[in-house]
């Protein structure tokens, strides 16, 4: 759904410092929510499509308009310093994703080079 896809594919459900992130999906698309937990409190998970069970947690990112399950749009419900913390998390996840992609390309290039060398040596020996 609008405003959820990029983040839901970047993060798995879980606690990140004081933030509890819930990534999920339903029949119409991805879902994504962020809750702020009280200082020092560990999240009580409640599955991939549900918010954590902590009574004192506050949802700061989630559905802001539309019909839930159909046309919902996601955004910040409450603004504050957690937006900067989340932006840093997004930056780290992009860096991690890009590093993995670069490593995969490097590995594929190495395999292709080895195969080309093998073919050339076989044909040369003919």
Q: What is the pLDDT of residues 38-85, one digit of tens each?
A: 988 899 888 666 788 888 999 999 999 987 778 889 999 999 999 999
Does position 109 have pLDDT exceeding 90, yes or no? yes
pTM of the full predicted structure?
A: 0.77
DSSP letters for the chain: -BTTHHHHHH--SEEETTEEEEEEEETTEEEEEEEEPPTTPPP----TTS----TT-EEEEEEEES-TTTT-EEEESS-STHHHHHHHHHHHHHHHHHHHHHHHHHHHHHHHHHHHHHHHHHHHH-
Confidence of residue 33 (pLDDT cuts 50, 70, 90): very high
Looking at per-residue pLDDT, the higher value among 110 and 49 belongs to 110
């Amino acid at each position: 759904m609008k405003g959820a896809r990029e983040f839901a594919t970047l993060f798995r459900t879980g606690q990140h410092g004081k933030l509890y992130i819930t990534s999920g999906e339903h029949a119409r698309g991805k879902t994504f929510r962020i809750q702020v937990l009280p200082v020092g409190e560990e999240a009580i998970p409640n599955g991939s499509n549900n918010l954590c069970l902590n009574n004192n947690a506050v949802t700061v990112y989630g559905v802001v308009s539309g019909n839930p399950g159909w046309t919902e749009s996601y955004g910040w419900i409450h603004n504050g310093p957690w937006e900067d913390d989340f932006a840093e998390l997004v930056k780290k996840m992009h860096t991690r994703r890009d590093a993995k992609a670069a490593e995969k390309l490097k590995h594929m290039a190495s395999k292709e080079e080895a195969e080309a060398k093998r073919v050339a040596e076989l044909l040369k020996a003919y």
